[in-house]
């Protein structure tokens, strides 16, 4: 009986064990199923200690469902370490699971102990965070027994680069050469003469004979165009008489012209036979009948009249007295004067075209760019030259202030007051060089002997007092928060004031900006001021502020 009782207890225990295992399996099924669907994020680094400038490989591994969307960190999220690049991205698939891996190269150029903050990875918009890592960056050990140490070399002033000026001069010279070449080609170049121009340059006698020869070969008589034939015939002889005999023949009637020729003959200025004058009168009368009475002589008469006119031209030329030396000299001077007039006319025309091009170019430039832009480009403007010059991106002081400026900032030696020297460990000031105009940018980096919180209000009051000592009056001040391009928060104090230049005594309004950053044991400042309304200076300030960044590790 005792044996049966023990057997029953054993069976009962076995039943309970089986039942418990069953319940355990029931609960384990969803647990295992959930763990398969859960995403897993891990991060690791290949080393916890580097030298300045060396790189750390930071690896993020994500194991998740293949249908999930994963977003890895982007940008400079590893600060205070700097991301050099994302080296690679790898994907491994296993059934419905996927393993994603992203490797980043990180570095740091200042020695010290740093902490890489947790990184955010989004899986289907759900955030996951990695662990943080402590990194030590060691200085590069220098063996001073083998490597000689030298003092820091002083700043060396270099000559201003005139590369842009040379390009401008070269462009102007090329434009003038092109314009000069076009003016020469169209106005001063000796162009090949046309047939009409060659005929016009001939002496009156030779030109008359040549035109009579062309009339002989014309088709006027064949086409019964007697009016055109006789009109051209009389125009040729009348033009010759007007140019060579100097008698007004083109506007004279037949009777008037014959009368003038007889008067010249009687005066002994034209040694022409009376019969020649009579023949010429008959030809002119025939021409009048053809032109005004529609008379139509025979072709032989028309041809004979042309021959007679040719003989009259020859006889008239022979009958003219030989020109004296005085006449020849007057003729030569006259021709020279005509040549000079033609040359002056060409020069005036070229100058007018050149001036017109300048005026049109200036008008187009003013319409497109605006009068102020054109005026400042032609006459020059100090801040416009700064804006369009070669900019320099550099780091100033310690803790460093990184900023891009039109000119490199120059270190200034500042002697601290005795009371300030008791609490200040180091102070560096950098300021831009001489500028022909009201524009200044400077940076200040100050570290204290004790890790105390900076009093920004006192620092700003000291800056405003410095402005007042410079002669700035009637200052209006505003204060806002300011963030650098990497997200470091600071205080921005800005406003306007009136300033009287100590040399020119000219009163101007100025805009000023004071930026303050810092933490325990240090303060960083950027101070800018410029003439109010200077659009170029405003563009410079905007560009500098957009490039500004500060390091907050001391």
Q: Average pLDDT by consecutive 10-residue portion of the chain (554 residues)?
A: 45 41 31 50 91 90 88 85 81 83 90 89 89 87 61 64 66 82 72 68 84 89 89 90 85 89 84 86 90 88 90 86 62 68 78 76 70 66 79 86 88 78 84 72 87 83 84 85 87 87 73 89 89 86 90 65
- Residue 448 domain flag: yes
Domain range for 85:
40-138
244/313 same-domain check: yes
Query: What tokens does 216 get?
Result: 């002989």
What confidence score (pLDDT) does residue 36 get?
A: 38
488/404 same-domain check: yes
Residue 277: half-sphere exposure toward Cβ, Cα within 13 Å: 19
1/48 same-domain check: no
- Residue 371 domain flag: no
CA angle 387, 475, 470 (to 5 degrees): 70
- Residue 118 domain flag: yes
CATH number at residue 456: 3.40.1000.10
68/110 same-domain check: yes
What confidence score (pLDDT) does residue 31 get?
A: 29
- Residue 94 domain flag: yes
235/282 same-domain check: yes
- Residue 148 domain flag: no
27/59 same-domain check: no
Report the alpha-carbon distance of residue 124 to residue 143 in Å, rounded.
54
CATH number at residue 260: 1.20.120
- Residue 186 domain flag: no
Q: Which residues of 402-427 are buried (b: 16+ CB within 10 A; e: fewer)?
A: bbebbbebeeeeeeeeeeeeeeeeeb
- Residue 237 domain flag: yes
Report the alpha-carbon distance of residue 463 to residue 444 in Å, rounded.
11
61/6 same-domain check: no
What confidence score (pLDDT) does residue 160 get?
A: 60
* β-strand pairing of 49-51 with 133-138: parallel
Write down which residue in 289, 305, 321 finishes a domain.
Answer: 321
Asked if residue 92 has a cis previous peptide bond (ω within 30° of 0), the answer is no
33/75 same-domain check: no
In 108-207, beta strands by DSSP E: 112-116, 120-123, 126-129, 133-138
CB contact at 8 A, 530 and 438: yes
E strand or H helix at 363: helix 325-369
505/429 same-domain check: yes
Query: What tokens does 167 get?
Result: 């390009």
Write down which residue in 138, 154, 182 finishes a domain.
Answer: 138
3/57 same-domain check: no
| Domain total in the chain | 4
439/543 same-domain check: yes
- Residue 287 domain flag: yes
Report the alpha-carbon distance of residue 313 to residue 233 in Å, rounded.
12
Report the alpha-carbon distance of residue 128 to residue 311 in Å, rounded.
119
Would you tell me how many other CB atoms lie within 10 Å of the CB of residue 512?
22
In the chain, the N- to C-terminal Cα span, in Å, equals: 87
This prediction has a pTM of 0.43
389/528 same-domain check: yes
């Amino acid at each position: 009986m005792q044996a049966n009782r023990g057997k029953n207890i054993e069976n009962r225990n076995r039943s309970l064990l089986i039942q418990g295992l069953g319940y355990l399996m029931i609960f384990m099924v969803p647990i295992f199923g959930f763990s398969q669907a859960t995403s897993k994020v891990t991060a690791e680094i290949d080393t916890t200690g580097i030298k300045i400038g060396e790189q750390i490989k930071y690896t993020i591994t994500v194991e998740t469902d293949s249908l999930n969307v994963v977003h890895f960190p982007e940008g400079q999220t590893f600060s205070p370490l700097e991301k050099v690049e994302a080296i690679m991205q790898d994907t491994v698939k296993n059934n419905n699971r996927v393993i994603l891996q992203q490797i980043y190269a990180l570095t740091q150029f200042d020695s010290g102990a740093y902490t890489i903050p947790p990184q955010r990875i989004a899986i289907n918009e759900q955030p996951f965070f990695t662990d943080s890592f402590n990194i030590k960056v060691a200085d590069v050990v220098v063996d001073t027994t083998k490597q000689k140490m030298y003092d820091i070399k002083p700043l060396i002033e270099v000559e201003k680069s005139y590369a842009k000026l040379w390009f401008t001069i070269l462009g102007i010279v090329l434009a003038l050469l092109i314009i000069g070449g076009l003016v020469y080609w169209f106005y001063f170049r000796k162009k090949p003469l046309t047939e009409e121009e060659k005929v016009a340059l001939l002496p009156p006698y030779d030109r008359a004979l040549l035109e009579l020869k062309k009339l002989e070969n014309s088709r006027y008589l064949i086409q019964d165009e007697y009016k055109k034939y006789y009109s051209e015939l009389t125009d040729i002889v009348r033009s010759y008489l007007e140019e060579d005999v100097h008698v007004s023949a083109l506007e004279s009637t037949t009777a008037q012209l014959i009368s003038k020729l007889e008067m010249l003959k009687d005066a002994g200025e034209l040694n022409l036979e009376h019969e020649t004058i009579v023949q010429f009168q008959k030809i002119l009368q025939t021409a009048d009948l053809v032109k005004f009475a529609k008379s139509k002589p025979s072709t032989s008469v028309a041809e004979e009249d042309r021959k007679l006119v040719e003989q009259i031209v020859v006889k008239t030329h022979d009958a003219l007295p030989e020109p004296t030396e005085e006449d020849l000299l007057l003729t030569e001077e006259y021709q020279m004067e005509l040549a000079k007039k033609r040359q002056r006319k060409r020069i005036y025309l070229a100058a007018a075209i050149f001036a017109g091009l300048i005026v049109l170019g200036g008008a187009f430039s003013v319409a497109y760019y605006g009068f102020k832009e054109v005026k400042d480009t032609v006459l020059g403007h100090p801040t416009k030259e700064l804006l369009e010059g070669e900019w320099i991106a550099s780091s100033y002081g310690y803790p460093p202030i990184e900023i891009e400026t039109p000119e490199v900032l120059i270190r200034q030696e500042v002697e601290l007051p005795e009371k300030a020297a008791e609490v200040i460990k180091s102070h560096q000031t950098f300021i831009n060089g001489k500028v022909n105009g009201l524009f200044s940018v400077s940076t200040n980096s100050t570290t204290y002997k004790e890790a105390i919180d900076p009093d920004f209000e006192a620092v700003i009051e000291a800056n405003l007092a410095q402005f007042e000592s410079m002669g700035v009056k009637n200052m209006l001040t505003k204060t806002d928060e300011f963030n650098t391009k990497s997200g470091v928060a600071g205080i921005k104090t800005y406003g306007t004031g009136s300033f009287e230049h100590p040399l020119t005594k000219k009163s101007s309004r100025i805009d000023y900006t004071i930026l303050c950053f810092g933490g325990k044991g240090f303060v960083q400042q950027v101070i800018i001021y410029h003439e109010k309304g200077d659009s170029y200076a405003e563009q410079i300030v905007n560009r500098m502020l957009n490039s500004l960044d500060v390091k907050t590790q001391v």
